[in-house]
A and B are shown apart, each in its own frame.
Chain A
């Protein structure tokens, strides 16, 4: 072996050593981070960060600032439907068959005046139409036009009690949780976010009745929140003072799967 070859070989050795050392360091780092992700104290710390983010965003956004609204020209030609595309249960199919004439949205829990609203009742309320941007937690956005009844009007009619802090939405789409099919999508918002002027119980999208894939007959639009905070197929609205006793205790289907309850970022 010539001297040049030897040098070449030692260079290659050194390079592969450096590459292996880097790969090893990266693996060690990643394994460490993965282990941390499953440690109780670390997830507790991440929960504190979520509180910090929520507090900071509340400070800047306040209860009344409006999400940007767009023009008809900005409306997406194809608005992606995500999550449940069709609840598919026999009960839901019956509602589809009779055009949701018997669909009711109830308001109960910590209210003085429980309500049971038909679709006609909801449509009879003063409507708000808004062209807004839907931001999915996955990263994509679509702009669409939504028409519906401001949730603030419905909540006001139900007269929330002073101790009510959260508004929980129970939906008609079944979600399988660990092989148990008896779970349905649910979500929750702070009372102030639920009463935000752009939070509506939407029954129209782009001028037409909501399609099944988009949550027919009614879905929540909460325009300062990510998509998973805006449940579709809403049947029951319940005001509560605490989320811990509901389902997985985290305030929503995706929250119970590890997503943050605060969905403003």
Chain B
């Protein structure tokens, strides 16, 4: 397996070290690329971070397996889509050298959070780390209870289920107390 494929595999497993490796590997090239389109360095860096995160979330939540692209072209494709959206929002013309990217998906989370979701996010942030981790395994990574048992050190499915219900209960208690 080549280095890129290994990194891709690790990204699907939510490996943050792999994410940092990819981030540093393509950072300079990406920033140079978007700066050609009149974006300042700090905007370019911000855009790059958004692109990297969107890419990572595609791997983790959707378990994307790259067929035609490699990591770099996939990442740059997402970045290009984000840049085009940003230019569109600022009502600036699309650069002629940059045709619309059709092969790569737009990142998740493009819609802003609703009021209800913002509140839920606030309370989620108040949960203990172990609860946040547990709920993320289930909701963010989309793992089944059985997969969570295999991946973590919880004794069995019942332990996972009861920890998860305790965390959900705490969350609903926070909401009720607001």
Please say whether chains A and B are actual partners in one complex: no
Residues of B participating in the A interface, judged by any CB pair closer than 8 Å:
none
